[in-house]
Structures are given as C-alpha cells and as structure tokens.
Amino acid sequence: MIPVTVAIIPWSAVKKFARELLRKGSHLLPFSGRSRMATHEAGHAIVAWHSSCVVNITKITIVPDRTSEYGAATSYEVFNRLKPEDLWERIAISLAGLAAEALVRGDLSIGGSSSDLDRAGIIAENIADLPYDLSRCPWTDVEYAPQRFDLIPLAYKSLTSTNTKILNICLQRAVMILEAHREQLNALTAAIKSQDTLDSEAVSAVLGERPTFTL
C-alpha cells in the first residue's frame, strides 16, 4: 500500500493563490464574470464620456490587482470645480455600472457594487446639505421614476426621502444615456472583454470624438 500524505492548506493561502492567478489576467475569470465586469465598467465609461464634468477617461480595466479580488475599475479626470450639475453627474457616473447591468443583462449585482452605491450616497448627501436641492436638478427630461429600476431604496433604507429621489433620478439619467448610446456601450464592452485594459487612446479609438459641452 502506497502511503499518502494529505496537506491541510489554510483557506487564507488558497484565497491568496487565487488572487495571484486572477492578477495575471482576467481571462482566468469565468466568462460570465468577465462579461458582467466588462458591461459594468463600460457603463461607467459611457456615462462619463457624455458628462460635462469629466475631462478625460484615463483607464478602464477588468484585471484584478493585489488589493482586490475583483479590482475592475474605470478611472477618469474631472474638472476642479463645484457646480450643481457636477454633483448630479458624478452620481449618475457612479450608478452607471448598475444601470448598464440592468439594461444589458436584465439583472443587478448590487452586492459587488457597494462602493459605487456608497460613493453615490455620499454625493447625494452633499447635494442635500448644499443649496442644490431637487429643484436644481440639471436635467429637465428626467423624472423620479423608481418603478423602472427601484434598487436604491433596497440598498439605502436609511436614506432620507430627498436623497433617495436624487439617487433614483441620477440612475434614470444613466439609463437614458446608455440607451441613447447603446452601440457605444456594446462596442466598448467587447473591447474591454478582448483587451482587459484600455488606456485613454484605446477608449477614444472605440468611442470616437467626444461630444462638445458648453462650460
């Protein structure tokens, strides 16, 4: 009989090993996971691309890093100013990943987007604290319509009624932008899935010329 040695490996070591494998490339992730992350990050990028507060999209990646097990991210530069429309747009950008999942996949991954919701909630609190109330919403074509994607009350039960409305309005704005630019969303999602990481030049190559804003 051949002796067999069984090694007991701590779970922390298993997670560390898996994280290192993931860091080497998102192609090692399950296809469904890569597809969801690419859709999510493309959503952030498209809404940022069509927002006047954003100077440039610097990087999109679905390659995890050492600090996160799933470290997908969209990085962008914003103008150094504080105007009402900037705050509203920043919330819409933060919620755009969730909006893209809802639009493309028909479901939401709220658990994996807690940082997006946290960021959006903090900005909504700033709007409510400053003289930038609901009457100062910069979008006349967006209404408070929670019946379509009513995720905010579920994720933020402790929010005030005003803040909940602010978040839902911004979510509707993100959905409207993504619907209007669905071809860009599809093209950018495909590019992210095939290349894992896009720099600013690669993003511009996919999306073309940015719209002109009156600042």
Q: What is the pLDDT of residue 191?
A: 97
How does pLDDT run across 26-72, given as a tens digit for each residue?
Answer: 444 455 678 889 999 999 999 999 999 999 999 999 987 655 555 68
User: Taking residues 92-115, what's their average pLDDT?
Assistant: 79
Q: How many residues does this entry show for the chain?
A: 215
Domain 28-207 = CATH 1.20.58.760:
yes
For the sheet containing 54-61, what is the strand order? 73-78, 54-61, 197-199
What average pLDDT does the chain have? 75
User: Taking residues 172-180, what's their average pLDDT?
Assistant: 91
Asked whether the predicted pLDDT for residue 161 surpasses 80, the reply is no
Domain range list for the chain: 28-207
Q: What is the pLDDT of residue 57?
A: 94
What are the two backbone dihedrals, phi and then psi, of residue 151, each rounded to the nearest 5 degrees? -95, -25
Which residues touch 49 (CB under 8 Å, ≥6 apart)? 57, 184, 203, 207, 210
Asked if 163 and 125 touch (Cβ cutoff 8 Å), the reply is: yes
Max distance between CA atoms of the chain, in angstroms, equals 81
pTM of the predicted model over 0.85: no
